[in-house]
Amino acid sequence: MVLVEAQRGFAAASYATDTALLAELRAAWPPAGRNAEDRAGYRPTNFAALEAVGAVRLADRFAIGLARDPRPGDDAFVVICLAREDGRWRLAVAGDGLSAFVAGVPMASERSIEVDQTNGSVVVGERAIVKWFRRVGPAPSRAPTLLAHLGAVGFDGIPAPLGSLTWVSPDGVELTLAQGDAFLPGARDGWDWCRETIEETLDPSLGTRLGGLTADLHEALATPSLVILEPVATAGTASVARWRAAADAALDEALALTGGDIGAELRGFAPAMRQAIDSLPVHDELRLQPTHGDFHVGQVLEWSGGLAVIDFDGNPTLGSDANAVRQPVERDIAQMHASIDLVGRVTQKLVPPDRDRAAAIDGWIEEARRRYLAAVGPFDERLLASFEVEQLCRELVYAARFLPRWRYAPMAALRARFGR
């Protein structure tokens, strides 16, 4: 597959399982690597406990293994990038040449993007980024469809998609293992440039910039194309009822997993949080359209050409209902609205203890969020309130399960809203 040279169009290469390679991997499982336990997505994964069920041979030295996770209720496949060394397959790392090979420039340099993210990204030759999905399926990825649709309607607020690599699962479903995008020179991760804005200027117009980008993105996603002929649809009352049930379940899970004094504080907020969830209008039919699906400041790059949105794969902590291509735009808006608060809380924690400075950041959060909502266009406040509480609950669940040190940020956001 050539990613870097296919600067126009949306090329894809699809592979079925190589049965001989699969037998070879099973005979020598697990692959050698950095640790017996690594990360596959947003959760630690013990590769020795996985069952290899698929294999893609890319070259004599490179391959992809697909494995089932034995945990009950997990239907996803773990994607394992492999390189051959001294006759044995091991976990591939940036510098081995796997990403450069699939990008069609096998001699190009590779460097990984070292940020806390669900998937792994490698910059190839400073010209392309190859993103490797660590967990895929059981349904197809939403990203290729949305990127092709945005390209078809002429939306320029994304890095140019260069191609993808897919695998045909045992059920016959094409699952995207890697996605290639043009590299944006000087691009900075959203958590970095947003935090820098707060630290250096406390300029709340950041909210206006993000709101304008949100409005432009949603307008493009709602525009018909040959990829998505009829993007706008309607959700019936049964769908809305499922959304409310999911939000209630997220709150229940956050309460169950958050203990000690923080848990007691959260239980004090719970009635008001439940009231916000209950504002979801379960008896109304609601407008749906394609959405980003996991929209937060980390998904917005700042570069010399402005702002660019990345990662349309959906939220790995949500179920298939909330990761459908069509959603209320309020789900995206709620996620970004919450993340503006969270990036402010991160900045508060990193600056030297200073009561006046902390109060100034509190003011920035409030004003930037206000400006964001003023710029996004029409939205339903009931949906926004419900989805934002659900998002903060999921942040607490993520913290409890995988990253305990993160709990302070969603708790600070909830404290500001419900602690008065």
Same domain, 256 and 171: no
Same domain, 53 and 36: yes
pLDDT tens digit sequence for 269-279: 999 999 999 99
Band of pLDDT at residue 142, cut at 50, 70 and 90: confident
For the segment 359-378, the average pLDDT, to the nearest whole number, is: 96
Same domain, 177 and 210: no
pLDDT tens digit sequence for 172-204: 888 999 999 999 988 898 999 999 999 999 999
Same domain, 330 and 212: yes
* Assigned domain for 61 exists: yes
- Alpha-carbon distances, residue 288 vs 271, 294, 320, 332, 382 (angstroms): 29, 16, 15, 12, 15
For the segment 382-398, the average pLDDT, to the nearest whole number, is: 96
Chain Cα centroid distance, residue 234: 25
Band of pLDDT at residue 48, cut at 50, 70 and 90: confident
Which of 137, 161, 182 terminates a domain? The answer is 182
Same domain, 212 and 272: yes
pLDDT tens digit sequence for 75-117: 789 999 999 998 899 999 999 999 999 988 888 999 988 664 6
Same domain, 128 and 267: no
d(Cα 238, Cα 175) in Å, to the nearest integer?
29
Q: Which of 143-147, 262-266, 299-303, 349-353 has the lowest mean pLDDT?
A: 349-353
* Assigned domain for 1 exists: no
Which of 157, 182, 207 terminates a domain? The answer is 182
Which of 182, 206, 229 terminates a domain? The answer is 182
* Assigned domain for 212 exists: yes
The per-residue pLDDT of the chain, averaged, comes to 89
Same domain, 406 and 355: yes
pLDDT at site 72: 62
**Which neighbouring-strand residues pair with 79?**
66
Tokens describing residue 206: 């950041």
* Assigned domain for 4 exists: no
pLDDT > 90 in the chain, percent: 67
d(Cα 181, Cα 334) in Å, to the nearest integer?
27
Beta strands across the sheet bearing 161-168? 12-15, 161-168, 174-182, 128-132, 120-124, 110-112
pLDDT at site 34: 59
Indicate the burial class of 329 (C-beta count within 10 angstroms; 0-12, 13-18, 19 or more).
buried
Band of pLDDT at residue 320, cut at 50, 70 and 90: low
- Does the pLDDT at position 318 exceed 80? no
pLDDT tens digit sequence for 199-222: 999 999 999 999 999 999 999 999
Which residues constitute the domain of residue 49? 12-182
Same domain, 166 and 223: no
* Assigned domain for 206 exists: yes
Same domain, 218 and 337: yes
pLDDT at site 14: 78
* Assigned domain for 124 exists: yes
d(Cα 75, Cα 69) in Å, to the nearest integer?
7
Same domain, 334 and 408: yes
pLDDT tens digit sequence for 6-28: 433 334 577 889 999 999 999 99
* Assigned domain for 64 exists: yes
Tokens describing residue 316: 């790995």
Please state the domain count of the chain.
Answer: 2
* Assigned domain for 7 exists: no
Same domain, 264 and 213: yes
**What CATH number corresponds to the domain at position 342?**
3.90.1200.10
Band of pLDDT at residue 5, cut at 50, 70 and 90: very low
d(Cα 224, Cα 152) in Å, to the nearest integer?
9
Same domain, 20 and 167: yes
